[in-house]
Structure 1
Amino acid sequence: MEPGSMENLSIVYQSSDFLVVNKHWDLRIDCKTWRETLTLQKQLRHHFPELADPDTCYGFRFCHQLDFSTSGALCVALNKAAAGSAYRCFKERRVTKAYLALVRGHVQESQLTVSYAIGRNSTEGRTHTMCIEGTQGCENPKPSLTELLVLEHGLYDGNPVSKVLLKPLTGRTHQLRVHCSALGHPIVGDLTYGQATGQEDQPFRMMLHAFYLRIPTLAECVEACTPDPFLSTLDACWCPHTLVQPLDQLVQALRAAPDPEPMDGDPGPCSPSKPLPGPGQGLPETEAQRTSYLQWLSEWTLEPDN
């Protein structure tokens, strides 16, 4: 698969308030070091110079983060009010996210909920990683929930692999990678949490992709579904042989699922019973909201490298 370039920026949703890009798998959101010749911020500035905001540290208001080696849907707010409204949705856990992944081994259950609490690893040499409660060096573990649904069984480069849909119900650092590893089914290509067998030197990327995203702000329902990158036509090493449940049915279920209720009881614009208002009609953020948002936005810059 072709590497990231300045030209291959893919936009999957666009309005006057938001962009959702399909981030490439070998791209950082931004980096201040000289060695980074290409970042998502540079791609955005190249394609949308008129949307760059000089008042922000990174030129654009990223609503959340994806690891360097994770591809898929990433939302960018185009003004302060939109950023504040997106922050409120994340804070209230009203955002729906679903990821596709290839994991080692054949997961026997068709559906399961992973509930290992996750904390930061204080072990020397591993302080940039996370771990599950009960393991040595696990500090301040917090409740973490992930739904896992098996889509297909097959082989990757001759080794048994499952294609799964992962739906995080909490938002811990590296949650999906840690939960899959704790199950004994690490994500293919995960050099940090994968099995120490040499297998993870072979894939050209980590096989984790942010597939679906819905942010039900009061003014606008931001909803995007990205193309599935884990197809045998795109990667000849992946050979599925058993269909467990079709992805298109799960997408329909994701789209039809109601959003969690906001604190004020408004059903939100993603509700099929309420017409969608035009973009830009949200209330302006307060100073307290802005301060909280800026603190939240700065957190992703502290994420460790994979």
Structure 2
Amino acid sequence: MEAASLENLRVLHHSADYIVVNKHWDVRIDSKMWYEKLTVQHQLKRRFPELADPVTYYGFRFCHQLDFSTSGALCVALNKAAAGNAYRFFKERLVTKAYLALVRGTVEEKEMTVEFAIGKNTTEGKTHMMCIEGTEACENPKPSQTVLRVLEYGTYEGEPVTKVLLQPLTGRTHQLRVHCSAVGHPIVGDFTYSLGKDNSPYRMMLHAYLLRIPLPKEPIQVIAPDPFIPDTDAKWEPQRTVQTVEGAMEAVFEEDAKDQTPKESGRVERQVSPEETEEQRARCQQWLCEWSLD
């Protein structure tokens, strides 16, 4: 991807109801700070001024979040009805997401399911971070689940790294970053969860590769091109392939097809939630209007 600018917005999908863009790394989705002009919000307003909705705070209804440092597929709803439809699919965990990452070290297990519960870190100076259950000052940890599949072994700037495909089965804040760190393989360039030590790469190596929303009238399945290839970054040198991205994606789709069947004990199931409470309905209405951060 070229350097981020207001004019440089890569569109992966565009219809009357949705836009999916390939978000740059180190770019915020939106900002209330008047001086922060390079955001996805401002890129959309520059590219599609006629589609901005003046009744919303940000002009566009973002269906989900990507961290500032993460690149890849990001979905935007273009009207309130489309936002409501997408909201329900995210709420019921019917959306499939897969991420590519380079992680530090050699991941021995070719496939693993990481199940550390994740909560808020209340330690002074670390309140912007999340933590796993059992960590000191970890508040309100919630069940979390990530499937990790090894793709390639190699080096980055001469240090051993592993290229992996990450499939989050839950949607906790910083989940992939926390889970990778918890198993001893932090994401390359993750300044926050390396406690400021991993600061030499030009970006954090985490990319939202697949976004699949099985909407009845307009199913969305978008792939944001893989940025972790030697032609893009010569410091990444693959040495041994375990499986291709395409092969790993087949496993993702197979897992996704089983989601409607009961899982063994301990697995996170995707089932229809009970009827919404008044509080949940109110939160949904707020989300439809201006994109809630929750």
- State the TM-score, normalizing by the size of structure 1: 0.85
Once superposed, which parts of structure 1, at least 4 consecutive aligned residues long, lie more than 6 Å away? 287-290
Paired letter, 1:56 = T
CA deviation profile, 1:219-275 (whole Å, cap 9, x unmatched): 2211101100000110011001010111122234445643845878xxxxxxxxxxx
For residues 280 and 134 of structure 2, the distance between their equivalents in structure 1, rounded to whole angstroms, comes to: 36
- Which secondary structure does the structure 2 equivalent of 1:180 belong to? helix
For residues 220 and 260 of structure 1, the distance between their equivalents in structure 2, rounded to whole angstroms, comes to: 20
| Match of residue 257 from structure 2 | 258
For residues 79 and 190 of structure 1, the distance between their equivalents in structure 2, rounded to whole angstroms, comes to: 35
For residues 52 and 280 of structure 2, the distance between their equivalents in structure 1, rounded to whole angstroms, comes to: 22
Extract unaligned runs of 5+ from structure 1: 265-286
| Match of residue 245 from structure 2 | 247
- Which secondary structure does the structure 1 equivalent of 2:176 belong to? helix
For residues 62 and 194 of structure 1, the distance between their equivalents in structure 2, rounded to whole angstroms, comes to: 29
| Match of residue 62 from structure 1 | 62
| Match of residue 3 from structure 2 | 3
CA deviation profile, 1:146-203 (whole Å, cap 9, x unmatched): 000000010000100000000000000000000000001000000111266x3x1210
Aligned residues between the structures: 278
| Match of residue 223 from structure 2 | 225
For residues 9 and 129 of structure 1, the distance between their equivalents in structure 2, rounded to whole angstroms, comes to: 29
Cα contact 1:17–1:79 (8 A) shared by 2: yes
| Match of residue 23 from structure 2 | 23
**Closer, same or farther in 2 for the Cα pair 1:160/1:40, shift >3 Å?**
same
Cα contact 1:186–1:195 (8 A) shared by 2: no
Cα contact 1:3–1:26 (8 A) shared by 2: no
CA deviation profile, 1:8-54 (whole Å, cap 9, x unmatched): 10111111111110000121111111331211011101111111111
**Closer, same or farther in 2 for the Cα pair 1:229/1:294, shift >3 Å?**
farther
Cα contact 2:73–2:210 (8 A) shared by 1: yes
Cα contact 1:96–1:215 (8 A) shared by 2: yes
**Closer, same or farther in 2 for the Cα pair 1:12/1:290, shift >3 Å?**
farther
Paired letter, 1:224 = V
| Match of residue 206 from structure 2 | 208
| Match of residue 122 from structure 2 | 122
- Residue 193 (structure 1) aligned with residue 193 (structure 2): yes
**Closer, same or farther in 2 for the Cα pair 1:65/1:193, shift >3 Å?**
same
Cα contact 1:64–1:300 (8 A) shared by 2: no
- Which secondary structure does the structure 2 equivalent of 1:201 belong to? coil
For residues 46 and 141 of structure 2, the distance between their equivalents in structure 1, rounded to whole angstroms, comes to: 41
Cα contact 1:73–1:225 (8 A) shared by 2: yes
- Which secondary structure does the structure 2 equivalent of 1:103 belong to? strand
Extract unaligned runs of 5+ from structure 2: 261-269, 273-277
The alignment yields a C-alpha RMSD, in angstroms, of 2.1
- Residue 43 (structure 1) aligned with residue 34 (structure 2): no
